[in-house]
Amino acid sequence: MKIAVIGATGLVGREMLAVLAERGYGQDEIIAAASERSAGKELEFAGRTLTVRTVEEAVSEKPEYAIFSAGAAASRQYAPMFADRGTVVIDNSSAWRKDPDVPLVVPEINIHAVGGHHRIIANPNCSTIQMVLALSPLQREYGIRRIVVATYQSITGTGLRAIRQLETEERGQQQPETEKAYPHPIHRNLFPHGGDFLENGYTTEEQKLIDETRKIFADPSIEVSPTVVRVPVVGGHSEAVNVELRKDFDLAHVRRLLEATPGVVLQDHPSANLYPMPITAHRRDEVFVGRLRRDPSQPNTLNLWVVADNLRKGAATNAVQIMQALIARKNQQHPTT
């Protein structure tokens, strides 16, 4: 099989290559593509070396799948080119997420949203993926009325510039303003600013949590009140989630539901200091959930703490899982004889 990774030299792109190798695609034809300035660079993949190619060259190769992490502008430009040639595009940017004709997919929840005619599939925002996967069994069992969420998002969500800024500040060194990812120091600091501010006072990262949750759950009535915070952490995103359900719940039953949910790991033993943390979620594909407790201030409401590696399940792993699910579906429909 021929698989293209677009944006292969970035943080998420490199993680996509790692996930592909881990999941058994080491012998397939992998096309690593990026911008023209990155063409010719070499990347290690499954014990061999890939030479980075331009996106135009990757289009001409007509791969079966193209996994994108090159930014919204590149996705809008190139995804239709791949799709016109029969390639299935799985895009990690914000370019297609709100398009009503493009499915927004977390495979454990709504792979059924992808039809045979779809050639572009959107990967949700990293903070959305982990939250909706943790909440998906509650939505099915009880229904969700309202979500209040505060995120504590890793600097890796902003890319290599953010990592360099944190490392430079940790060393006590000065950095030119033009090279900084953030308008404030991130070392020993945090700030309620993720993405760009909108006219309503929310940020683009916060608006994604609202819009994408409703689309993935196919329920526009769900109310979402988000606050995004950037923290000096490398391992992954954390979220404090308060969810009001449409029916009352039994806490023991909630625990059983979460334990039975594919891709979710319950870590909820506070007396033994067991709860999810970015340092233990780092480089893991699962979504970790803990600190389960009733909200004492109103009925039918649950508090929980959700952590996941934003570069893995929040981006690369989810995209590869979408591809794997589509391959499995195709093999079921057209089994080898």
Degrees to nearest 5, angle at CA 36 with 34 and 40: 75
What tokens does 159 get?
């890319």
| Cα of 123 vs its chain's centroid, Å | 7
**Catalytic-residue membership of 237:** yes
What tokens does 191 get?
């700030």
Task: Annotate 288-322 with b (16+ C-beta within 10 A) or e (fewer).
Answer: bbbebeeeeeeebbbebbbbbbbbbbbbbbbbbbb
Residue of 126, 187, 269, 334 with catalytic role = 126
For residues 124 and 217, the answer to whether their CB atoms sit within 8 Å is no
Coil/strand/helix, residue 127? helix
Instruction: Return d(Cα 167, Cα 117) in angstroms, integer.
Output: 46
**Catalytic-residue membership of 126:** yes
Instruction: Return d(Cα 55, Cα 244) in angstroms, integer.
Output: 45
Instruction: Return d(Cα 125, Cα 114) in angstroms, integer.
Output: 18
Residue of 117, 187, 193, 237 with catalytic role = 237
Cα separations in angstroms, 17 against 29, 65, 79, 320: 12, 13, 19, 10
Q: Which helix (H) or strand (E) holds 48?
A: strand 48-51
Query: What contacts 83, CB < 8 A, 6 or more positions away?
Result: 89, 119, 120
What tokens does 69 get?
């992490």
Task: Annotate 252-269 with b (16+ C-beta within 10 A) or e (fewer).
Answer: eebeebbeebebbbbbbe
Q: Which helix (H) or strand (E) holds 150?
A: strand 144-153
Active site residues: 126, 237
